[in-house]
Amino acid sequence: MNKVLWIAWREFKHTALTKAFILAAIFIPIMIVGMIFLLGPLLKPRIAPLKGTLVVAASDPEITLGVIREMDPDRIRERQELSRERREKAFGAEAESKMMNPGAAMAEVLRLPSIHVKVEAADADADLEVLKDQVRAGELLAVAVVRDDALVSEQTPATNGYDLFVASDSAPNHTTLFEDALADAIVGVRVGRVGLNIENTRSLLRRPEANTRRVSEDGGEASENVAAKMIIPMAFMTLLWIATFTSGNYLLTSTIEEKSNKVMEVLLSAVSPLQLMTGKLLGQAGVSFILLAMYGGLGIAALIASAMMDLVPMIHLVYLLIFFIMGFFMVAALMAGVGSAVSELREAQSLITPVMMLLMIPLILWLPITENPNGALATVTSYIPPLIPFVMMLRVTAASEPVPLWQILSSIVVGYIWMFIMIWMCAKIFRVGVLMYGKPPTPLELLRWIRYR
């Protein structure tokens, strides 16, 4: 076997086939996914059983009747379903929720506890203090006082409310239950007073569903999918980032370890610095690919399981591979360069900070680039190393309307040219750095090393 391959194999074996790696890289993600699947439904808030009396003090008996209707378990279920839909629309989380747990929505509706609330009416001029004492004593669940001015059609914020008195130990979701029932009952009375039917009005007020489709220049149409537009690019970019950054970090520490253990020159007695660096890069590329395949495979398995594979066209996986190779070698070149220049891990901090800041940029730019994948920011950062692979991954997966092919091709060409330049610079630094001990170099000195014969 070639010497470079022996180095690569040692690097791979002592990184990926260790207890620490298997624990950190395999079991922890599996545990996280397992927790999401198993603990997710269990951790969802549930309402404790509710039994007792709610007193509604109002001059209009319709209010009490309305509250009785609204406290019916079927109506409560309906209301919860509506609020879930509203929430999902606001966060664009429909697909995500289904992806993570397809049965969750159904389980949420079915998991209503037994609610046996007796609603009693009281006169508007009933002694409120007596009722409140009963709440304190636990004889009543709550007392609601609805004034007449809450029922008129023209209201100010001051007159729009009602008073609700609950025990100090009342559960927040029980209080919400009363609040929702009362609010809907009051609205029902208001609507009834102007001669309308509340059920009809409710269905009239339901916002219509949008079926947005983007029409492209070539005459095709593509559905607008919030999840595909926002979550998928983030997932791809994070996948790329984690795979390259984790193995880059391993490369940094293993290079520093070889220097601090003083095994470096022993190795250089058998191989050239370039062979050593190439072997190390290849070994860590293997580690990185394992991470990519493992996490990516998990993601694809989840998509297939939830029949959402159509969100990820095959070309995206091809792009992932192209930009993974580019991204890994860019990050690895930076890490190997820094690792070879310092003698101890703590000395690496000053040199690694700018690299880290640079690599954090794609994470910060996720939202603006995803929202506007063909904008100026996205286009410019597509040609700046080492951002190219990360930004392009965001762009090619984000745009419902495709990124112009010439931009994809040119950024791949520019990216790979930069990748080779970075590896070349790293090799120059590596060659000098591995033999240097003592004070860590400044960035300016690193530049001198590149020119050093």
Partner 1 sequence: MAESSISIRGVSKSFGATQAVRNLDLEVPRGSLCGFLGPNGAGKSTTIRMIMSIIYPDSGDITVLGGSTLGNKDRIGFLPEERGLYRKMRVGEFLEFMGHLKGVRGNVRKIASDWLTRLELPGVYDKRCQELSKGMQQKVQVLASVIHNPDLIILDEPFSGLDPVNAAVLSRTIRELHAEGKTIIFSTHVLQQAEELCERIFLINHGVKLLDATMTEIRQRFDPRTIVVEPMTPNGDFRDVPGVLSSRPLSQSHLFELSLEPGADPQRVMQAIASRTAIRSVELRRPTLSDVFVQLVMKDQGEAAARQASEELTTEPAWLAGASSSLDEVIP
Question: Interface with partner 1 by CB under 8 A: which residues?
Answer: 1, 3, 6-7, 10, 14, 257-258, 261-272, 435-439, 453
Residues in CB range of 221: below 8 A, 6 or more apart? 213, 214, 215
What does DSSP say about strands 142-146 and 50-58: parallel, antiparallel, or unpaired? parallel
> Which residues, in sequence order, are CB contacts of 385 under 8 Å at separation 6+?
330, 415, 418, 419, 422
* CB 81, min distance to partner 1, A: 57
Question: In angstroms, what is the minimal distance from the CB of 3 to partner 1?
Answer: 5
Cβ proximity to partner 1: between 107 and 435 the closer is 435
State which residue, 20 or 204, has the beta carbon closest to partner 1.
20
Q: How far is the CB of 277 from partner 1 (least distance, A)?
A: 14
Closest contact distance (angstroms) between CB of 420 and partner 1 is: 23
> At closest approach, how far in Å is the CB of 305 from partner 1?
39
Closest by CA to 141, choosing from 90, 102, 103, 181, is: 181
In the complex, minimum distance from the CB of residue 445 to partner 1, in angstroms, rounded to a whole number:
9
The H or E element spanning position 293 is helix 273-305
Indicate the residue among 271 and 300 with the shorter CB distance to partner 1.
271
Q: Which is nearer to partner 1, 270 or 380 (CB)?
A: 270
The CB-of-260 to partner 1 minimum distance in angstroms stands at 8
Nearer to partner 1, 168 or 269 (CB): 269
Q: Is 236 or 250 the residue whose CB approaches partner 1 more closely?
A: 250
CA distance readout (Å), 420 to 45, 339, 416: 53, 19, 6
Task: Output DSSP code: residue 55.
Answer: E
What's 356's DSSP letter?
H
Q: Which is nearer to partner 1, 14 or 316 (CB)?
A: 14
The Cα 351–Cα 356 span in angstroms is 9
- In Å, the largest CA–CA distance within the chain is 99
Instruction: Kindly tell me which of 65 and 274 has the beta carbon lying closer to partner 1.
Output: 274
User: Cα dihedral angle (362, 364, 365, 370), rounded to 10 degrees?
Assistant: 100
Antiparallel, parallel or unpaired: β 142-146 and 115-122: unpaired
At closest approach, how far in Å is the CB of 261 from partner 1? 4
Return the exposure string of 350-376: e unless at least 16 CB atoms fall within 10 Å of the residue's CB, then b: ebbeebeeebeebeebbeebbeebeee
Which residues have a Cβ under 8 Å from the Cβ of 251 and sit 6 or more positions away? Answer: 280, 281, 284, 332, 335, 336, 339
